[in-house]
Amino acid sequence: MPGRIVQSLIDAGTNNPVIMLDEIDKIGADYRGDPSSALLEVLDPEQNKTFVDHYVDMPIDLSKVLFITTANVLETIPPALKDRLEIISFSGYTEDEKFHIALSHLLEKQLKNNALSDKEAVLEKTALLELIKNYTREAGVRNLEREIAKVFRKVALSIASNGKKYTLPITITAKNLSKYLGPKKFTHSLAEETDEIGLSTGLAYTTVGGDILFIEVALLDAGKGQIILTGQLGNVMKESARAAFSYVRSRAKDFGLDPEKIAKTDVHIHVPEGAVPKDGPSAGAAITTALISAFTRRPVNRHIGMTGEVNLRGRVTEIGGVKEKVLAGHRAGLKQIILPRDNQKDLVNVPSNVKKALKFHFVKNMDDVLRLVLTPVKD
């Protein structure tokens, strides 16, 4: 039989179809061959004009075919194959987008799948929002649809088992949602209640959206100037913490600190939720702020969240995932957001209602950050 590419041309009946290659990051090489090596020729416009299928045994022009591939992560795609692709990144849905997708499509679909009508079961908007926030944590809406289906299945079972007992329609509210889905599966981190010394609020990007990240710093006297890192941090985040500590030591006198005391103090940096792996350089500003707060004994404003990579000169540099991080800060109850100056352009992707609710500060270096977040010492 012809290969899948040639068979797709035959099925389409044209030489310029759109061919979708799904989950290309899952390709693996074994004793049966390496599909990614075959794709190098197929996806290269300079080579695929003379693609040879072993069954047809003659050159086939694939230059007019539009290939679209999908992937969840780029790290597992071979570099040579990635070089032949134009990469377009899509961020996950926001809670507001999930809400409207469910309202417009998923509710009606699952009512029909479970042999119900809107006169028999009603999922209130408040319950739908509660379901999205506390029962799902994902970039798409696949699990959201499963949870909605679970609710309607239980409603259908109740009606089938003892329909006379219930007054229709059965209404699912935010208060009785746990009756159908059990206790909440997820809780979103909320801003602290008081300003704390050695505790800053960072903003993190995850595969399922954004979240806030608390950075805790404890100083241990009679030490050797060592740095202790806990919280299941990745290598990049560990390097950010070490760079932040080096920056603080290099500018100790500017902050009114004794360099000799710092040299004899061990620093413990901890990022809570230790079971969750964390990585990336964008927590640099938050780590540096928590360190300086701990050494100067000045509390950090709890209403301000921050993100940005920090180099050894104290410059706050550009990061990614601005939309998701800002939405996470807004959801957690923060009032102000600190972003690198070079990320000002990324605010165009943030919903207008979120931008109106938050105050943004665009900083160039750590001096700008410290002026905003460190509160005066109380007598």
Q: Which residues are catalytic?
A: 282, 325
Q: Is 36 left (phi over 0), alpha (psi -120 to 50) or beta?
A: alpha
Whole-number Å distance between alpha carbons of 183 and 134: 9
Which of 241, 222, 246 is CA-nearest to residue 230?
241
End-to-end CA distance of the chain: 84
Whole-number Å distance between alpha carbons of 302 and 336: 10
Are the C-beta atoms of residues 91 and 324 closer than 8 Å to each other? yes
Identify each DSSP E strand in the chain by its residue range.
Answer: 18-21, 51-52, 59-60, 66-69, 121-123, 170-172, 199-206, 209-220, 227-230, 266-270, 304-306, 309-310, 316-317, 336-340, 359-363
**What are the start-end ranges of the H helices in 121-167?**
125-135, 142-162
Long-range CB pairs of 256-259 (<8 Å, 24+ gap) are: 256/296, 257/295, 257/296
Contacts of 165 (CB under 8 A, 6+ apart): none
**365, two tokens:** 């270096």
Whole-number Å distance between alpha carbons of 289 and 375: 12
Tell whether the torsion through CA atoms of 91, 23, 81 and 54 is positive or negative. negative
Whole-number Å distance between alpha carbons of 62 and 60: 6
Give residue for tokens 């050894």: 312
